[in-house]
Structure formats: structure tokens, C-alpha cells
Amino acid sequence: MNARIKPATPRLVFMGTPDFAVPSLQMLANDYDVVAVYCQPPRPKGRGMRLSPQPIHVAADALGIPVKTPTRFDAETITELATLKPDLLVVVAYGLILPEQVLHLPQYGAVNGHASLLPRWRGAAPIHRAIAAGDKETGVSVMMMEKDLDTGPVILEKRINIAEDDTMGQLHDDLADLTAAALHEAIPLLIQGHADPKPQDHTNATYAHKITDAEAELDFTMDRDSVLNQIRAFSPFPAAWMMVRSPDSADLHRLNCLAAIAAEGTGKPGQFLCKGKQGGPVIATANGAIEILFLKPAGKSRMSGRDYLNGYAMPDQVVPFDRQI
């Protein structure tokens, strides 16, 4: 039991940035005194590239919570945080590295809600990586934060199955809600002195590095399941993609692939075979084929594979980006 005097209503500082963090902030604001929210600064967005506040900034404004947007934790920023006298820091998908000095400011330290079953998929893109790897299960972990990335002892975890048709977007929303539920359960344990954080097995750690656009290019020399996993993992963002050339034109155009299913047929990997049962293009992989159900041509709106083939000629072959000349 922590022998220090505990406040009747703990003062929390919340740190997060994207949509994923919003359910957690909303939950905490109902139960605790959230004295400030820290998030990434506004970023240019849209065709006009106007500065737009981050999703958590918008949510904090709606809740009437002061927002701070430092670009780094220098001495001035740390001093300002210390004046808030938080009892606990709660971090969910913030995007800035916190110095060890910051982690030790509150009497209860800092906890992080992370979208994986640690030590699997530490890092920036755990949801994408879990689907791309074909994992059948994932979840969220609430851990005590240390100076290294996602290495701290875990207070509790909550598990969830990954369905065969789950996309990154669907799983993202489920895990955002599950993170809020996990924090709702874990924080009272910590404050009341009943938490029993378990060290991670660092030998089993895997890393979810940030997704690059180049990595999202579809590789049809892979087996069919891997191609389908890649499409699900990157849908709706950053979106798996391929370059195609229509038979009636020498011009290449990019197709973002948002949904696909297994289909019948064989051919050279990347070859367009026919229209599928749902009217979309069927493309050969290393050991079978897939049918594209939904896609987005560059500069166009999302459309079904059927509508795409109603407006465009069936391409012959996917053209790998490094072989487009």
C-alpha cells in the first residue's frame, strides 16, 4: 500500500493525439480531475493545408480541459508540467518521447494504454502489424512507463479476437474502446495500491515500426492470405496500393485497394484474370487469386470493384513500382 497521502480526486494529466485516444480521455474526464491535456500541435490538413487541431485537442476543448501542444519536453515544458502537480500521467498514442524526469513527476508515475498484448508489437503501428502478420488475437495493455519504448511492467491486459475480415479501421475502433475500459479498471488499482505490475519478457518482444507508403505496395508474389492480410492491415489508411497500366493506354495509374476476398483462378502473380463473382477485378497471387471489392483510383472517390470495371478497361498486369519504365 502506498503510504503517501492520496487526494480524494486524483489530478490527472492526459497525453494523446489521434482519434484512438479520444474514448480514453472521455472516460477519464468523467471520473477524475483532468487538469490538462497534452497533444501534438495542429497540422496542415486538406486541400487548403489549413492548420487543424488534432482529434484529442478537439475532444479536450469540448470537455473544457486546457490543452498544451509542446513540440518537445525541454526544461521550460517540464517546469510548466510540474506546476500542474499531477498525481498521475495517462498516455495513449501521444507521439512524443517523455524524458525520465517527466515520468517521475507524479506520485503514481505514468501509465500507458497500448494497443497490443505486450511484449508483442511494441512501437508505433501495433494494429497494422498484428493484422499484416495474420495474428488471430490481439488486445490492449496498460503498463507503467519507463524511459525505453513500451518496455514497462504491465498492470493488466484485455484480449480480443481478430476476425478474418477485420480491417485496421474496424480493429482500431474496437481497441480504442477497449483501451478506455482497461484504463478504467487499471487506474483505481494503481491509486489504491492494489496494482501488481508484471515485468515483460523482453526476449519475446516484437516491434511495430511505423508504416511507410512504400511498404504498403502490394506484392502479388506473396501467397494469397498474405496479400489479403496486407489489404486488411492498411485499410483505410495508409491503404495498400498497386500501379496498373490499362491495355488501351501507356499511362500508369495508382489503385488503392480497400477490401478484397479470396477468389478462384491462377496465373502469373499480379496478372488480372477476369471479373469476379461480385463483379470486381480478379488478380493472381503466388498460390491463387483475390477479387478486389473496393478500391480508390488516384484522384477519385472510393468505389466498388464492379464500378471500377464499368468505367475502366481491365488492366493486364500489376506493374511493380521499381519496374515502371
Residue 102's CATH number: 3.40.50.170
Beta-carbon-side half-sphere exposure of residue 19 (alpha carbons within 13 Å)? 7
Q: What is the CATH number of the domain that holds 286?
A: 3.10.25.10
Nine-digit cell at 222? 506473396
**Closest by alpha carbon to 27, among 12, 38, 17, 39?**
12
Amino acid type, 23? P
The answer to whether residues 60 and 201 belong to one domain is: yes
Q: Please check whether residue 186 lies inside any domain of the structure.
A: yes
* Separation CA 266–CA 282 (nearest Å): 10
- What is the residue-level pLDDT of the chain in tens, covering all 325 positions? 444 444 468 999 999 999 999 999 999 999 999 999 999 999 987 777 789 999 999 999 999 999 999 999 999 999 999 999 999 999 999 999 999 999 999 999 999 999 999 999 999 999 999 999 999 999 999 999 999 999 999 999 999 999 999 999 999 999 999 999 999 999 999 999 999 999 999 999 999 999 999 999 999 999 999 999 999 999 999 999 999 987 766 778 899 999 999 999 999 999 999 999 999 999 999 999 999 999 999 889 999 999 999 998 899 889 886 655 4
Phi–psi pair at 319, nearest 5 degrees: -110, 110
| Amino acid (one-letter) located at 44 | P
Q: Judge if 40 and 97 occupy the same domain.
A: yes
Q: Are 238 and 213 in contact (CB under 8 A)?
A: yes
Question: Is residue 2 one of the residues assigned to a domain?
Answer: no
Q: Where does a domain end: 177, 208, 239? A: 208
For residues 185 and 222, membership in a common domain is answered with: no
Ranges of beta strands (E only) in the chain are: 11-16, 33-38, 43-45, 50-52, 67-68, 88-92, 110-114, 122-123, 137-144, 154-161, 207-208, 240-245, 252-263, 272-275, 281-285, 288-297, 303-304
Of 183, 208, 233, the position where a domain reaches its end is 208
Q: Indicate if 165 and 244 belong to the same structural domain.
A: no
The angle at the Cα of 149, spanning 4 to 53, to the nearest 5 degrees, equals: 90
Per-residue pLDDT, 322: 63
Same domain, 141 and 231: no
> Are 198 and 229 part of one and the same domain?
no
Distance between start and end Cα atoms, the chain:
68
- Is 3 within a domain? no
Please say which residue of 208, 239, 259 terminates a domain: 208
* Domain presence at residue 84: yes
Task: Say yes or no: 199 and 103 in one domain.
Answer: yes
Residues 115 and 194 in one domain: yes
Give bridge partners of residue 48 from the DSSP assignment: none
Cα 131 to chain center, whole Å? 11
Structural domain boundaries enclosing 247: 214-323
List the grid coordinates of 298. Answer: 488516384
What is the predicted pLDDT for the residue at 169? 97
What SS3 class is residue 198?
Answer: strand
* Structural domains in the chain (count): 2
